[in-house]
Chain A
Amino acid sequence: MNTSATPLVVADGLHRAFHVARGADPVVAVDDVSFTIEAGEALGLVGESGSGKSTIARILAGLERADSGSLRVAGIDRRTVGHGAAARLARARQVQMVFQDPYGSLDRRLTVEQTLTHAMRLHGLAGGRDAKGGAAELLERVRLSATQARLKPYQLSGGQRQRVAIARALAVEPAVLVLDEAVSALDVSVQAQILELLDEIRRESRISLLFVSHDLAVVDEVTDRVLVLFGGAVVEEGRTQDVLRKPAHPYTRLLIASVPGPGWDPHDVIARRAAFELSRSDAST
């Protein structure tokens, strides 16, 4: 990989706070987070609920704004792009997102083929027959049949719906694909098929992935590098296989020890958690 060139994604000092109630302190969801993603690289985000991983994913996808910090994709600043329809479309073309719930993220009135042709037409990528041909190619890439192209979401299984969501994201040929818990709701065998599909897509193209998951084993399988988030901040980062096997930060160690496996004991996890909280409060006083 050419490391001298500027990475595809450069996020620097991202910050995001939410005002939850009048008079209450804002909740800091993302606290000075910086990262890069090279073309063709897969970056993982791990951490517990509320650690900020989904907010970061949504900022990259343009669904959420950062209060401060900068975010550049292929050299273009995502924060200064205009608000008009054309600017929004340009932003959406660079980065596409796949969500956890394939039931909620597809238009239930559209067939699979229509879902894909709409996405292509919206971005002016294909018209008329071309769109149909494009849809057929996409379906082949995600291993769905021509028969399934005529079905609507309710006629598909969860795994098939997630394939459609991935195909729709690929329809606009994005540089970055953001996956937020995209395989978490799937059975293990279906999950394995989707992970294999992602692997194929990465080998075929130079697409970059931002992969958000609470499942460390899945992150281990999919990503090259990982950021560990706690309370909105990055506490550890590095090559995924190193971070998950030789964690340096106490929070990463806690996260790994909490995952059920041989010798796992819930009381032990609680004791570790308490020790971690205590060490943090000691450090801050």
Chain B
Amino acid sequence: MAKDMKRGATDMPPVGAISDEQVEDVLTPDQQTMAGTATAISTSAGVPASTAAGAEVALTLWGDVWRRLRKNRLAIIGLGIVGVLLITAVFAPLIAPYDTNDQRIDVASRCSGPCAPTLKHWMGTDQLGRDQFSRIVYGARVSVIVGVFAVGIALALGLALGALSGYFGGAIDALVMRIADVFFAFPYVLAAIVLIIAIGQGVGSIVVAIGIFAWATIARLLRASILSTKETEYVEAARALGANHWRIITRHVMPNSMAPVIVYATILIGSAILTEAALSFLGIGVVPPTPAWGYMVNAGKPFLTTRPYMIIFPGIAIVFTVLGFIFLGDGLRDSMDPRLR
């Protein structure tokens, strides 16, 4: 009970939900806080109003976000998809019934190419007689690796440069932002193709290519967010206390500027996976025989009209994965939106 009240007390949704200045009058944050303490006070009138009954329920950023996210059906669907993807990638050897490179010439020749789904191969087999389902399961690994590492590189670059740019401003800001502009000016996929040709094909190249072209957006987002955060009074208070730049950036500015970056990074994972699929489809992504979804779609191309399941299954995997990240990102945006808190 106490816990529930605390929750209710600390929530702001009435304000956000009503989103009208008059509502300030209905329920200010003060009152929200008091909601939980009202009963406590009536029994012990006169004590400072902060004496709420019940255990401490510290609401951290993530606790708060999760509570709102839980109510967003699309976000939960997105989270589910992402969860399935991760589990699939991690436990691929346990899930996949066959070896991905187990070419069954006999099967292929019997079907004269790819076989239709059967009970044994419920997504069918490809032109070399390999089990499609197993290849899709392993393909999740490539997708996750590309998504995570590419976004990791983009985050590392974007956060560092964006923080410098936003916090210090001036010449550093101008320089970083002009460099970012240059990266914006490149056509993304084209630049990736050039880079892959230069440093060679493979998962690593894709990761690097996506990473170094995606940082600019992250840097911009973070910079914009920091510009408003660094003007807040709590940052000023920290300066008045004598805190150095490092402390101010890491303890005060960054934790309060990350929300838009987290949202964007989530969606970016989806789009990195999509880019990888596109590059693999074009034949310059993952090196065969490593199973990758884009590559599988490519392989199914000649059989588009006769055996569409060659394309449908990996296509569905790509679409759902990307959608999953977009749903989750949108959900995070809604639950992290400062206007709602």
Q: Answer whether A and B are interacting partners.
A: no
A→B interface (CB under 8 Å): none
B→A interface (CB under 8 Å): none
